[in-house]
Chain A
Amino acid sequence: MWLLAVLVKLGDAAAAEADRAAVSRMARGDRDALADVYDRHARLLYSLALRIVRQAADAEDVLQEVFAQVWRHAARYDVGRGTVIGWLVTLTRSRALDRLRRGRVRPQAAADEALAREVPDSSPGVDLALVSEERAAAVRSALEALPENQRVPLELAYYEGLSQSEIAAKLGVPLGTIKTRMRQALVRLRDAVAGQVR
Protein backbone atom coordinates (compact mmCIF):
# COMPACT_ATOMS: atom_id res chain seq x y z
CA MET A 1 0.00 0.00 0.00
CA TRP A 2 2.74 2.40 0.97
CA LEU A 3 4.62 1.85 -2.24
CA LEU A 4 1.45 2.14 -4.27
CA ALA A 5 0.55 5.37 -2.52
CA VAL A 6 3.82 6.86 -3.68
CA LEU A 7 2.72 6.21 -7.23
CA VAL A 8 -0.54 8.11 -6.87
CA LYS A 9 -0.20 11.31 -8.83
CA LEU A 10 -1.40 14.70 -7.72
CA GLY A 11 -4.72 15.61 -9.22
CA ASP A 12 -5.71 11.98 -9.31
CA ALA A 13 -9.38 11.54 -8.48
CA ALA A 14 -8.67 9.03 -5.73
CA ALA A 15 -6.22 11.40 -4.03
CA ALA A 16 -8.71 14.25 -4.34
CA GLU A 17 -11.37 12.15 -2.67
CA ALA A 18 -8.93 11.02 0.03
CA ASP A 19 -8.09 14.69 0.66
CA ARG A 20 -11.75 15.63 1.06
CA ALA A 21 -12.28 12.74 3.45
CA ALA A 22 -9.16 13.75 5.40
CA VAL A 23 -10.37 17.34 5.77
CA SER A 24 -13.72 16.06 7.07
CA ARG A 25 -11.84 13.92 9.58
CA MET A 26 -9.75 16.93 10.61
CA ALA A 27 -12.95 18.88 11.19
CA ARG A 28 -13.92 16.15 13.67
CA GLY A 29 -10.58 16.51 15.43
CA ASP A 30 -8.81 13.52 13.84
CA ARG A 31 -5.18 14.56 13.89
CA ASP A 32 -3.93 11.59 11.88
CA ALA A 33 -5.84 13.06 8.93
CA LEU A 34 -3.52 16.07 9.01
CA ALA A 35 -0.52 13.76 8.75
CA ASP A 36 -2.12 12.03 5.76
CA VAL A 37 -2.62 15.30 3.87
CA TYR A 38 0.87 16.45 4.80
CA ASP A 39 2.44 13.24 3.53
CA ARG A 40 0.61 13.54 0.22
CA HIS A 41 1.31 17.18 -0.56
CA ALA A 42 4.16 18.61 1.52
CA ARG A 43 6.72 18.21 -1.26
CA LEU A 44 4.75 20.22 -3.81
CA LEU A 45 3.78 22.92 -1.31
CA TYR A 46 7.30 23.18 0.11
CA SER A 47 8.76 23.49 -3.40
CA LEU A 48 6.32 26.29 -4.27
CA ALA A 49 7.00 28.13 -1.01
CA LEU A 50 10.76 27.75 -1.53
CA ARG A 51 10.50 29.15 -5.08
CA ILE A 52 8.77 32.24 -3.68
CA VAL A 53 10.61 32.93 -0.41
CA ARG A 54 13.92 31.34 -1.52
CA GLN A 55 15.15 30.50 2.01
CA ALA A 56 14.54 26.96 3.32
CA ALA A 57 13.81 28.23 6.86
CA ASP A 58 11.19 30.67 5.55
CA ALA A 59 9.62 28.01 3.34
CA GLU A 60 9.34 25.73 6.37
CA ASP A 61 7.66 28.48 8.36
CA VAL A 62 5.22 29.03 5.51
CA LEU A 63 4.30 25.35 5.48
CA GLN A 64 3.81 25.33 9.22
CA GLU A 65 1.49 28.34 8.98
CA VAL A 66 -0.47 26.76 6.12
CA PHE A 67 -1.04 23.46 7.88
CA ALA A 68 -1.90 25.21 11.13
CA GLN A 69 -4.52 27.19 9.26
CA VAL A 70 -5.87 24.10 7.49
CA TRP A 71 -6.15 22.35 10.84
CA ARG A 72 -8.02 25.26 12.42
CA HIS A 73 -10.28 25.93 9.45
CA ALA A 74 -11.01 22.36 8.33
CA ALA A 75 -14.59 22.62 9.57
CA ARG A 76 -15.15 25.64 7.37
CA TYR A 77 -13.80 24.05 4.20
CA ASP A 78 -16.44 24.03 1.48
CA VAL A 79 -16.09 20.94 -0.73
CA GLY A 80 -17.88 22.80 -3.52
CA ARG A 81 -15.13 25.35 -3.93
CA GLY A 82 -12.62 23.00 -5.54
CA THR A 83 -10.03 20.42 -4.58
CA VAL A 84 -8.25 20.44 -1.25
CA ILE A 85 -4.88 20.60 -2.98
CA GLY A 86 -6.12 23.64 -4.93
CA TRP A 87 -6.94 25.26 -1.60
CA LEU A 88 -3.57 24.27 -0.13
CA VAL A 89 -1.64 25.60 -3.12
CA THR A 90 -3.57 28.88 -3.00
CA LEU A 91 -2.95 29.24 0.73
CA THR A 92 0.73 28.39 0.36
CA ARG A 93 1.27 30.91 -2.42
CA SER A 94 -0.61 33.56 -0.47
CA ARG A 95 1.31 32.96 2.78
CA ALA A 96 4.65 32.82 0.98
CA LEU A 97 3.92 36.09 -0.82
CA ASP A 98 2.87 37.69 2.49
CA ARG A 99 6.20 36.67 3.96
CA LEU A 100 8.09 37.89 0.93
CA ARG A 101 6.35 41.29 1.12
CA ARG A 102 6.98 41.63 4.86
CA GLY A 103 10.62 40.74 4.24
CA ARG A 104 10.86 43.50 1.65
CA VAL A 105 9.64 46.05 4.18
CA ARG A 106 11.14 45.20 7.56
CA PRO A 107 12.82 41.81 7.58
CA GLN A 108 13.48 41.25 11.29
CA ALA A 109 10.56 43.13 12.80
CA ALA A 110 8.17 41.43 10.44
CA ALA A 111 9.51 38.02 11.34
CA ASP A 112 9.11 38.74 15.06
CA GLU A 113 5.63 40.03 14.50
CA ALA A 114 4.68 37.01 12.47
CA LEU A 115 5.77 34.74 15.28
CA ALA A 116 3.91 36.73 17.87
CA ARG A 117 0.52 37.01 16.25
CA GLU A 118 -2.14 34.83 14.78
CA VAL A 119 -1.74 34.90 11.03
CA PRO A 120 -4.79 36.56 9.48
CA ASP A 121 -6.56 35.13 6.45
CA SER A 122 -5.30 37.35 3.68
CA SER A 123 -8.13 36.27 1.37
CA PRO A 124 -6.16 34.40 -1.26
CA GLY A 125 -8.97 34.63 -3.80
CA VAL A 126 -9.83 31.95 -6.28
CA ASP A 127 -8.44 28.48 -5.64
CA LEU A 128 -5.98 27.13 -8.15
CA ALA A 129 -6.59 23.79 -9.87
CA LEU A 130 -3.84 21.24 -10.32
CA VAL A 131 -3.32 19.43 -13.58
CA SER A 132 -1.71 16.10 -14.44
CA GLU A 133 2.08 15.80 -14.37
CA GLU A 134 2.03 15.61 -18.13
CA ARG A 135 0.09 18.86 -18.50
CA ALA A 136 2.27 20.54 -15.88
CA ALA A 137 5.33 19.54 -17.90
CA ALA A 138 3.71 21.03 -21.00
CA VAL A 139 3.14 24.28 -19.13
CA ARG A 140 6.74 24.26 -17.90
CA SER A 141 7.95 23.96 -21.48
CA ALA A 142 5.51 26.60 -22.67
CA LEU A 143 6.67 28.92 -19.88
CA GLU A 144 10.30 28.46 -20.86
CA ALA A 145 9.41 29.04 -24.51
CA LEU A 146 7.63 32.34 -23.84
CA PRO A 147 9.36 35.50 -25.08
CA GLU A 148 11.21 37.08 -22.17
CA ASN A 149 9.04 40.18 -22.24
CA GLN A 150 6.00 37.98 -21.52
CA ARG A 151 7.62 35.46 -19.17
CA VAL A 152 9.27 37.94 -16.82
CA PRO A 153 6.11 39.96 -16.01
CA LEU A 154 4.19 36.74 -15.39
CA GLU A 155 6.88 35.37 -13.07
CA LEU A 156 7.04 38.67 -11.19
CA ALA A 157 3.26 38.54 -10.70
CA TYR A 158 2.96 34.88 -9.83
CA TYR A 159 6.12 34.11 -7.87
CA GLU A 160 6.83 37.55 -6.40
CA GLY A 161 3.30 38.87 -5.98
CA LEU A 162 3.97 42.22 -7.65
CA SER A 163 0.95 44.16 -8.90
CA GLN A 164 0.77 45.09 -12.56
CA SER A 165 1.64 48.70 -11.72
CA GLU A 166 4.68 47.55 -9.73
CA ILE A 167 5.80 45.34 -12.60
CA ALA A 168 5.37 48.20 -15.07
CA ALA A 169 7.45 50.49 -12.84
CA LYS A 170 10.12 47.85 -12.22
CA LEU A 171 10.53 47.02 -15.90
CA GLY A 172 10.03 50.60 -17.11
CA VAL A 173 7.24 49.52 -19.47
CA PRO A 174 3.78 51.17 -19.78
CA LEU A 175 1.06 49.55 -17.66
CA GLY A 176 -1.14 48.81 -20.68
CA THR A 177 1.73 46.93 -22.34
CA ILE A 178 2.29 44.85 -19.20
CA LYS A 179 -1.39 43.91 -19.07
CA THR A 180 -1.36 42.84 -22.72
CA ARG A 181 1.83 40.80 -22.38
CA MET A 182 0.63 39.01 -19.27
CA ARG A 183 -2.65 38.20 -20.92
CA GLN A 184 -0.82 36.85 -23.99
CA ALA A 185 1.43 34.73 -21.79
CA LEU A 186 -1.51 33.29 -19.87
CA VAL A 187 -3.41 32.48 -23.05
CA ARG A 188 -0.41 30.53 -24.35
CA LEU A 189 -0.10 28.63 -21.08
CA ARG A 190 -3.85 27.91 -21.08
CA ASP A 191 -3.48 26.43 -24.55
CA ALA A 192 -0.56 24.34 -23.33
CA VAL A 193 -2.72 22.98 -20.50
CA ALA A 194 -5.44 22.20 -23.01
CA GLY A 195 -2.89 20.39 -25.17
CA GLN A 196 -3.39 22.73 -28.08
CA VAL A 197 0.18 23.91 -28.45
CA ARG A 198 3.22 21.98 -29.57
Chain B
Amino acid sequence: MTTDANDHDVLREQVALYAVGALDGPDRAAVESHLRQCDACAADLAAFRQVGGALAQAVPQHEPSPALRARVLAAAGRPERMRALPVVVPWLAAAAMLAVTAGLSVYVAQLRERVRSLELQLSDAILRVNEGERRVNVMLRASADLERRFDVISAPDVRRIELAGQPAAPSASARVFWSRSRGLVFTGSNLPKLPAGRIYQLWFVTTTAPVSAGLLNTDDSGRPIVLGTSPDIPTPIALAVTLEPEGGVLAPTGDKYLVGATQ
Protein backbone atom coordinates (compact mmCIF):
# COMPACT_ATOMS: atom_id res chain seq x y z
CA MET B 1 0.00 0.00 0.00
CA THR B 2 1.37 3.44 -0.85
CA THR B 3 0.49 6.76 0.63
CA ASP B 4 -0.73 9.48 -1.68
CA ALA B 5 0.84 12.93 -1.94
CA ASN B 6 -1.65 14.41 0.47
CA ASP B 7 -0.82 11.87 3.20
CA HIS B 8 2.85 12.38 2.49
CA ASP B 9 2.63 16.11 3.23
CA VAL B 10 0.74 15.51 6.46
CA LEU B 11 3.08 12.76 7.61
CA ARG B 12 6.21 14.67 6.66
CA GLU B 13 5.09 17.38 9.08
CA GLN B 14 5.00 14.72 11.81
CA VAL B 15 8.44 13.23 11.14
CA ALA B 16 10.17 16.00 13.10
CA LEU B 17 8.05 15.28 16.17
CA TYR B 18 8.48 11.54 15.77
CA ALA B 19 12.26 11.88 15.53
CA VAL B 20 12.53 13.59 18.91
CA GLY B 21 10.20 11.08 20.56
CA ALA B 22 7.31 13.55 20.88
CA LEU B 23 4.74 11.48 19.02
CA ASP B 24 2.76 8.56 20.34
CA GLY B 25 -0.28 6.41 19.65
CA PRO B 26 -1.74 6.13 16.14
CA ASP B 27 0.25 9.16 14.90
CA ARG B 28 3.47 7.38 15.70
CA ALA B 29 2.37 4.15 14.02
CA ALA B 30 1.32 6.06 10.88
CA VAL B 31 4.68 7.82 10.65
CA GLU B 32 6.61 4.58 11.19
CA SER B 33 4.66 2.91 8.43
CA HIS B 34 5.21 5.84 6.06
CA LEU B 35 8.94 6.00 6.80
CA ARG B 36 9.38 2.46 5.52
CA GLN B 37 8.34 3.52 2.03
CA CYS B 38 9.40 7.17 1.73
CA ASP B 39 13.10 7.97 1.22
CA ALA B 40 12.57 11.73 1.52
CA CYS B 41 10.97 11.39 4.95
CA ALA B 42 13.64 8.90 6.02
CA ALA B 43 16.27 11.54 5.18
CA ASP B 44 14.33 14.09 7.25
CA LEU B 45 14.28 11.62 10.10
CA ALA B 46 18.08 11.38 10.19
CA ALA B 47 18.40 15.17 10.46
CA PHE B 48 15.79 15.47 13.19
CA ARG B 49 17.26 12.56 15.20
CA GLN B 50 20.27 14.80 15.68
CA VAL B 51 17.99 17.50 17.06
CA GLY B 52 16.73 14.92 19.56
CA GLY B 53 20.29 14.12 20.56
CA ALA B 54 21.22 17.77 20.78
CA LEU B 55 18.25 18.47 23.06
CA ALA B 56 19.52 15.72 25.36
CA GLN B 57 22.98 17.33 25.32
CA ALA B 58 21.59 20.83 25.81
CA VAL B 59 20.69 20.32 29.49
CA PRO B 60 22.91 21.67 32.29
CA GLN B 61 25.56 19.07 33.08
CA HIS B 62 25.88 17.50 36.56
CA GLU B 63 28.31 14.90 37.85
CA PRO B 64 26.66 11.77 39.31
CA SER B 65 27.90 10.65 42.74
CA PRO B 66 30.61 7.95 42.98
CA ALA B 67 28.14 5.88 45.02
CA LEU B 68 25.86 5.67 42.00
CA ARG B 69 28.61 4.00 39.99
CA ALA B 70 28.98 1.36 42.69
CA ARG B 71 25.20 0.83 42.76
CA VAL B 72 24.90 0.50 39.00
CA LEU B 73 27.74 -2.00 38.76
CA ALA B 74 26.53 -3.93 41.79
CA ALA B 75 23.08 -4.15 40.22
CA ALA B 76 24.59 -6.01 37.27
CA GLY B 77 25.45 -8.68 39.84
CA ARG B 78 29.14 -8.22 40.22
CA PRO B 79 31.55 -7.12 42.92
CA GLU B 80 32.96 -3.65 42.55
CA ARG B 81 35.86 -3.30 40.15
CA MET B 82 38.70 -0.94 40.73
CA ARG B 83 38.76 1.91 38.29
CA ALA B 84 41.81 1.55 36.02
CA LEU B 85 44.65 3.67 37.28
CA PRO B 86 46.74 5.70 34.86
CA VAL B 87 49.97 4.54 33.30
CA VAL B 88 52.69 6.87 34.47
CA VAL B 89 54.23 8.60 31.50
CA PRO B 90 57.28 10.71 32.49
CA TRP B 91 56.05 14.03 31.13
CA LEU B 92 52.66 13.41 32.72
CA ALA B 93 54.07 12.29 36.06
CA ALA B 94 52.59 15.14 38.05
CA ALA B 95 49.21 14.85 36.39
CA ALA B 96 49.32 11.10 36.82
CA MET B 97 49.96 11.47 40.55
CA LEU B 98 46.89 13.65 40.77
CA ALA B 99 44.96 11.09 38.82
CA VAL B 100 46.12 8.31 41.18
CA THR B 101 44.98 10.38 44.13
CA ALA B 102 41.64 11.03 42.46
CA GLY B 103 41.32 7.35 41.53
CA LEU B 104 42.13 6.27 45.08
CA SER B 105 39.65 8.65 46.63
CA VAL B 106 36.99 7.36 44.28
CA TYR B 107 38.00 3.82 45.20
CA VAL B 108 37.82 4.62 48.92
CA ALA B 109 34.35 6.07 48.40
CA GLN B 110 33.35 2.95 46.53
CA LEU B 111 34.74 0.72 49.27
CA ARG B 112 32.78 2.69 51.87
CA GLU B 113 29.65 2.21 49.84
CA ARG B 114 30.42 -1.50 49.51
CA VAL B 115 30.89 -1.85 53.28
CA ARG B 116 27.63 -0.05 53.88
CA SER B 117 25.90 -2.33 51.39
CA LEU B 118 27.36 -5.44 53.08
CA GLU B 119 26.29 -4.17 56.50
CA LEU B 120 22.76 -3.76 55.19
CA GLN B 121 22.85 -7.27 53.74
CA LEU B 122 24.09 -8.65 57.06
CA SER B 123 21.37 -6.99 59.09
CA ASP B 124 18.85 -8.20 56.54
CA ALA B 125 20.19 -11.74 56.89
CA ILE B 126 19.95 -11.55 60.70
CA LEU B 127 16.36 -10.37 60.43
CA ARG B 128 15.58 -13.28 58.14
CA VAL B 129 17.11 -15.81 60.53
CA ASN B 130 15.07 -14.37 63.42
CA GLU B 131 11.93 -14.50 61.34
CA GLY B 132 12.72 -18.10 60.39
CA GLU B 133 13.14 -19.05 64.07
CA ARG B 134 9.87 -17.37 64.95
CA ARG B 135 8.06 -19.32 62.24
CA VAL B 136 9.60 -22.61 63.35
CA ASN B 137 8.41 -21.94 66.91
CA VAL B 138 4.90 -21.15 65.71
CA MET B 139 4.85 -24.38 63.71
CA LEU B 140 6.20 -26.39 66.64
CA ARG B 141 3.45 -25.00 68.88
CA ALA B 142 0.81 -25.74 66.23
CA SER B 143 2.18 -29.24 65.84
CA ALA B 144 2.14 -29.90 69.61
CA ASP B 145 -1.41 -28.57 69.77
CA LEU B 146 -2.54 -30.89 66.98
CA GLU B 147 -0.83 -33.80 68.67
CA ARG B 148 -2.70 -33.10 71.93
CA ARG B 149 -6.00 -32.90 70.10
CA PHE B 150 -5.33 -36.14 68.32
CA ASP B 151 -4.29 -37.68 71.60
CA VAL B 152 -7.62 -36.76 73.21
CA ILE B 153 -9.75 -37.77 70.22
CA SER B 154 -8.03 -41.14 69.87
CA ALA B 155 -8.20 -41.99 73.58
CA PRO B 156 -9.88 -45.35 74.38
CA ASP B 157 -12.18 -43.64 76.88
CA VAL B 158 -13.13 -40.66 74.67
CA ARG B 159 -16.75 -39.51 74.73
CA ARG B 160 -18.38 -37.14 72.27
CA ILE B 161 -20.87 -34.65 73.69
CA GLU B 162 -22.98 -32.33 71.50
CA LEU B 163 -23.93 -28.96 73.04
CA ALA B 164 -26.94 -27.01 71.75
CA GLY B 165 -27.49 -23.24 71.76
CA GLN B 166 -29.69 -21.77 74.49
CA PRO B 167 -32.01 -18.71 74.35
CA ALA B 168 -28.96 -16.46 74.95
CA ALA B 169 -27.40 -17.81 71.71
CA PRO B 170 -29.93 -19.95 69.82
CA SER B 171 -27.75 -20.52 66.75
CA ALA B 172 -24.63 -21.50 68.69
CA SER B 173 -23.48 -25.11 68.96
CA ALA B 174 -20.44 -27.01 70.13
CA ARG B 175 -18.90 -30.45 70.18
CA VAL B 176 -16.74 -31.73 73.00
CA PHE B 177 -14.46 -34.76 73.02
CA TRP B 178 -13.71 -35.71 76.60
CA SER B 179 -11.31 -38.32 77.86
CA ARG B 180 -10.91 -38.64 81.58
CA SER B 181 -7.33 -39.78 81.13
CA ARG B 182 -6.16 -37.36 78.42
CA GLY B 183 -8.20 -34.15 78.52
CA LEU B 184 -10.82 -32.35 76.50
CA VAL B 185 -11.22 -30.80 73.04
CA PHE B 186 -13.89 -28.13 72.60
CA THR B 187 -15.08 -26.94 69.16
CA GLY B 188 -17.66 -24.17 69.20
CA SER B 189 -19.43 -22.39 66.40
CA ASN B 190 -21.61 -19.28 66.19
CA LEU B 191 -20.85 -18.29 69.78
CA PRO B 192 -21.48 -14.54 70.14
CA LYS B 193 -18.35 -12.38 70.30
CA LEU B 194 -17.30 -11.91 73.89
CA PRO B 195 -18.18 -8.55 75.48
CA ALA B 196 -15.28 -6.73 77.10
CA GLY B 197 -14.33 -8.13 80.49
CA ARG B 198 -16.27 -11.40 80.03
CA ILE B 199 -15.33 -14.96 79.15
CA TYR B 200 -17.04 -18.25 78.41
CA GLN B 201 -16.66 -20.90 81.10
CA LEU B 202 -17.28 -24.63 80.63
CA TRP B 203 -19.00 -26.56 83.40
CA PHE B 204 -19.37 -30.25 84.20
CA VAL B 205 -22.88 -30.52 85.62
CA THR B 206 -22.89 -33.29 88.23
CA THR B 207 -25.62 -34.65 90.48
CA THR B 208 -24.41 -32.38 93.23
CA ALA B 209 -23.10 -29.10 91.78
CA PRO B 210 -21.52 -27.77 88.58
CA VAL B 211 -17.72 -28.08 88.51
CA SER B 212 -15.64 -25.76 86.34
CA ALA B 213 -13.84 -27.52 83.46
CA GLY B 214 -12.00 -24.39 82.41
CA LEU B 215 -12.22 -21.10 80.58
CA LEU B 216 -12.83 -21.06 76.81
CA ASN B 217 -10.54 -18.65 75.09
CA THR B 218 -12.43 -19.29 71.88
CA ASP B 219 -11.84 -17.11 68.87
CA ASP B 220 -14.38 -15.85 66.32
CA SER B 221 -13.97 -18.85 64.03
CA GLY B 222 -14.77 -21.34 66.81
CA ARG B 223 -11.32 -22.90 66.70
CA PRO B 224 -11.01 -25.99 68.89
CA ILE B 225 -9.75 -25.29 72.34
CA VAL B 226 -7.87 -27.98 74.24
CA LEU B 227 -8.34 -28.04 77.95
CA GLY B 228 -6.73 -30.11 80.60
CA THR B 229 -9.20 -31.69 83.05
CA SER B 230 -8.59 -33.08 86.44
CA PRO B 231 -8.70 -36.92 86.53
CA ASP B 232 -10.74 -36.87 89.72
CA ILE B 233 -13.55 -34.74 88.27
CA PRO B 234 -16.92 -36.44 88.87
CA THR B 235 -18.61 -38.00 85.84
CA PRO B 236 -20.99 -35.32 84.58
CA ILE B 237 -24.61 -35.69 83.55
CA ALA B 238 -24.31 -32.68 81.27
CA LEU B 239 -21.92 -30.01 80.05
CA ALA B 240 -22.81 -26.31 79.96
CA VAL B 241 -21.20 -23.06 78.90
CA THR B 242 -22.01 -19.79 80.67
CA LEU B 243 -20.84 -16.21 80.23
CA GLU B 244 -18.84 -15.13 83.26
CA PRO B 245 -16.61 -12.28 84.43
CA GLU B 246 -13.07 -12.46 83.05
CA GLY B 247 -10.96 -14.79 85.17
CA GLY B 248 -13.86 -17.17 85.79
CA VAL B 249 -15.94 -17.96 88.82
CA LEU B 250 -16.22 -20.89 91.24
CA ALA B 251 -19.92 -21.48 90.53
CA PRO B 252 -21.92 -20.36 87.47
CA THR B 253 -23.50 -16.91 87.73
CA GLY B 254 -24.20 -15.89 84.12
CA ASP B 255 -26.60 -16.94 81.35
CA LYS B 256 -26.27 -20.39 79.86
CA TYR B 257 -25.15 -20.27 76.21
CA LEU B 258 -24.71 -23.98 75.50
CA VAL B 259 -25.97 -27.14 77.17
CA GLY B 260 -25.56 -30.80 76.23
CA ALA B 261 -26.32 -34.06 78.04
CA THR B 262 -23.48 -36.53 78.29
CA GLN B 263 -25.76 -39.45 77.34
Contacts and interface: CB of A to CB of B under 8 A. Distances in A.
B36 interface: no
Nearest to B58: A140
A1 interface: yes
A111 interface: no
Interface residues of B, number: 53
Contact of A157 (B22, B28, B51): B22
B16 A10 contact: no
Contacts of A67: 72, 75-76
A42 B67 CA distance: 12
Interface residues of A, number: 63
B229 to A, nearest CB: 51
Contacts of A64: 68, 71-72, 75
B126 interface: no
A163 B48 CA distance: 18
A68 B76 contact: yes
Interface in B78-108: 78, 81, 83-87, 92, 95-96, 99, 103
A48 B17 CA distance: 19
B51 A38 contact: no
A194 interface: yes
Contacts of A121: none
A129 to B, nearest CB: 4
A56 B59 CA distance: 15
Interface of A: 1-3, 10, 31-32, 34-35, 38-39, 42-44, 46-48, 50-51, 56, 59-60, 63-64, 67-68, 71, 82, 86, 89-90, 92-94, 124-131, 133, 135-136, 139-140, 143, 154, 157-159, 163-164, 179, 182-183, 186-187, 189-190, 192-194
22 contacts: A10-B57, A31-B78, A34-B72, A46-B64, A50-B62, A59-B64, A63-B64, A64-B68, A67-B72, A93-B21, A126-B21, A129-B50, A135-B50, A136-B53, A140-B58, A157-B20, A158-B20, A158-B55, A159-B59, A163-B24, A179-B17, A192-B54
